């Protein structure tokens, strides 16, 4: 299993990471080789914040709240919705328990703000407005996971609640940091309206009204709504998962794959993670702490993918220096694979993701 680690030999992505264009008139020196460094002190800092694993933590449990402080999950979702019993008293108690936990925990012990989120109750319940009002007062929380978003109108409702909470004199939040919103796709109506959901923008603006940053697939709710019968093959969900991932990409959003309910079956989880990554998902929900490390290690490029990407970048630079726009990359079976601009872009994406995860970039000649 490939585990994230700091590279001993790294590629400083330089102009490639910044999207610079190659010139066919570039000198024929090996610029890529010069970007390598054998010193671990030259290891680049991550170019982006990875959000691979999204671990649900019930806000109804003091024990689980405390345990979340030691989690390696990229994102922790403190849950006020499904993991809390539906009674009014239980919902209020969970909300207050989460507030006490966040406010009483020293800032140095809390995960960084980009790792903290809260799933509030849906707009169809009487609890969502007070959830939002209290959560936005918890200054370390910058992300809200929004269940049962069926249309852009639901996001307008949430945005109005955020604006009202901020307008009512809540202070202490970073004025330049919008609240990130994650829309959960859970119904046939949501999938039908997915374009308008993904393109939504708050009429109040992103700072006072929130900014959509991700689409999340809630498979079990979706199956309950559509009468789809779940099978181990997941074939019945292929269209829906693909549609969500592609729509997220079209609007520059993260795509968060469904929960694997077989949380003790590591082989099945691994297969489901690999399946989601192939479909274009950037991360996956977790319902058990034991799922986190496998999700973290799967939603990054493999050693083979990184090596192949490094070779493509190196050899394409050489090809451009020789005024060629493509080249043949040797394959393991002795064949040749034609590499041109689209493959170059894929290789660049692979190296960016590997660097963000602090994975080793091999030196190629």
CATH number for the domain that contains residue 262: 3.20.20.60
Of 274, 298, 322, the residue at which a domain comes to its end is: 298
Give the mean model confidence (pLDDT) for residues 14-42. 35
Question: Do 101 and 234 lie in a common domain?
Answer: yes
What range does the domain containing 230 cover?
53-298
Question: Do 293 and 338 lie in a common domain?
Answer: no
Question: Do 128 and 254 lie in a common domain?
Answer: yes
Which string of DSSP letters, residue by residue, matches 79-138?
ESSTTS-SSHHHHHHHHHHHHHHHHHS-TTTSPPGGGEEEEPPPTTSSSHHHHHHHHTTS
Assess if residue 3 is contained within a domain.
no
Question: Do 203 and 321 lie in a common domain?
Answer: no
Of 255, 191, 260, 256, nearest to 230 by C-alpha is 260
Residue 2: band (very low, low, confident or very high) from pLDDT cuts 50, 70, 90: very low
Assess if residue 2 is contained within a domain.
no
**Which of 26-40, 200-214, 269-283, 327-341 shows the lowest mean pLDDT across its residues?**
26-40
Residue 44: band (very low, low, confident or very high) from pLDDT cuts 50, 70, 90: very low
Assess if residue 181 is contained within a domain.
yes
Assess if residue 264 is contained within a domain.
yes
Question: Do 342 and 244 lie in a common domain?
Answer: no
Neighbours of 102 (CB within 10 A): 21
In 125-158, which positions are buried (b, 16+ CB within 10 angstroms) versus exposed (e)?
bebbbbbbbbbbbbbebbbbbbbbbbbbebbbbb
Question: Do 272 and 327 lie in a common domain?
Answer: no
- Nearest-5° Cα angle at 123, 118 to 125: 95
Domain count, the chain: 2
Q: What is the pLDDT of residue 49?
A: 81
Question: Do 61 and 126 lie in a common domain?
Answer: yes
Question: Do 229 and 313 lie in a common domain?
Answer: no
Give the mean model confidence (pLDDT) for residues 79-101. 97
Question: Do 84 and 196 lie in a common domain?
Answer: yes
Question: Do 86 and 120 lie in a common domain?
Answer: yes
**Which of 15-19, 234-238, 303-307, 346-350 shows the lowest mean pLDDT across its residues?**
15-19
pLDDT over threshold 80, residue 3: no
What is the tens place of the pLDDT at every residue in 233-289? 999 999 999 999 999 999 999 999 999 999 899 999 999 999 999 999 999 999 999
Q: In which element (H, E) is residue 159 found?
A: helix 152-167
Give the mean model confidence (pLDDT) for residues 180-195. 98
Residue 168: band (very low, low, confident or very high) from pLDDT cuts 50, 70, 90: confident
Assess if residue 23 is contained within a domain.
yes
pLDDT over threshold 90, residue 169: no
Percent of the chain at pLDDT exceeding 70: 85
How far is Cα 141 from Cα 117, in angstroms, rounded to an integer?
6
Assess if residue 364 is contained within a domain.
no
Of 278, 298, 318, the residue at which a domain comes to its end is: 298
Say if residues 85 and 60 touch (Cβ distance below 8 Å): yes
What is the tens place of the pLDDT at every residue in 106-151? 999 999 999 999 999 999 999 999 999 999 989 899 999 999 999 9
- 3-class DSSP assignment, residue 340: coil
Of 13, 5, 31, 8, nearest to 362 by C-alpha is 8
The token pair at 55 is: 């671990």
Question: Do 292 and 346 lie in a common domain?
Answer: no
Neighbours of 21 (CB within 10 A): 7
pLDDT over threshold 90, residue 27: no
Question: Do 220 and 123 lie in a common domain?
Answer: yes
> Nearest 10 degrees: CA dihedral of 163, 167, 172, 173?
20
């Amino acid at each position: 299993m490939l585990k994230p680690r700091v590279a001993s030999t790294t590629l400083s992505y330089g102009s490639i990471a910044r999207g610079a264009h190659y010139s066919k008139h570039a000198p024929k020196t090996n610029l890529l080789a010069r970007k390598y460094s054998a010193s671990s002190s030259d290891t680049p800092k991550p170019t982006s914040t990875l959000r691979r694993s999204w671990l649900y933590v019930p806000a109804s449990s003091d024990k689980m709240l405390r345990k979340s402080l030691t989690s390696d999950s990229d994102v922790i979702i403190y849950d006020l919705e499904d993991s809390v019993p539906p009674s009014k008293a239980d919902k209020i108690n969970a909300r207050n328990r989460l507030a006490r936990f966040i406010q009483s925990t020293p800032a140095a012990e809390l995960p960084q703000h980009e790792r903290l989120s809260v799933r509030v109750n849906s707009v169809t319940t009487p609890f969502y407005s007070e959830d939002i009002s209290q959560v936005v007062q918890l200054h370390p929380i910058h992300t809200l996971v929004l269940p049962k978003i069926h249309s852009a109108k639901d996001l307008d409702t949430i945005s109005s609640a955020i604006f009202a909470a901020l307008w009512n004199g809540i202070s202490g939040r970073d004025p330049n940091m919008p609240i990130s919103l994650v829309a959960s796709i859970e119904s046939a109506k949501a999938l039908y309206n997915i374009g308008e959901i993904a393109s939504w923008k708050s009429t109040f603006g992103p700072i006072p009204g929130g900014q959509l940053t991700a689409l999340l697939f809630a498979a079990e709710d979706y199956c309950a709504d559509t009468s789809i019968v779940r099978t181990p093959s997941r074939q019945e969900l292929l269209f829906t998962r693909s549609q969500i991932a592609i729509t997220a990409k079209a609007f520059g959003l993260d795509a968060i794959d469904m929960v694997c309910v077989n949380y003790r079956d590591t082989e099945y989880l691994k297969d489901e993670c690999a399946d989601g990554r192939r479909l274009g998902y950037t991360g996956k929900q977790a319902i058990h702490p034991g799922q986190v490390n496998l999700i973290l290690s799967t939603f990054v490029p493999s050693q083979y993918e990184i090596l192949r990407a490094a070779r493509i970048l190196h050899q394409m630079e050489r090809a451009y220096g020789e005024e060629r726009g493509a080249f043949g990359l040797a394959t393991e079976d002795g064949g040749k694979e034609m590499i041109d601009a689209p493959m170059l872009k894929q290789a660049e994406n692979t190296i960016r993701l590997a660097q963000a995860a602090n994975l080793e970039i091999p030196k190629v000649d």
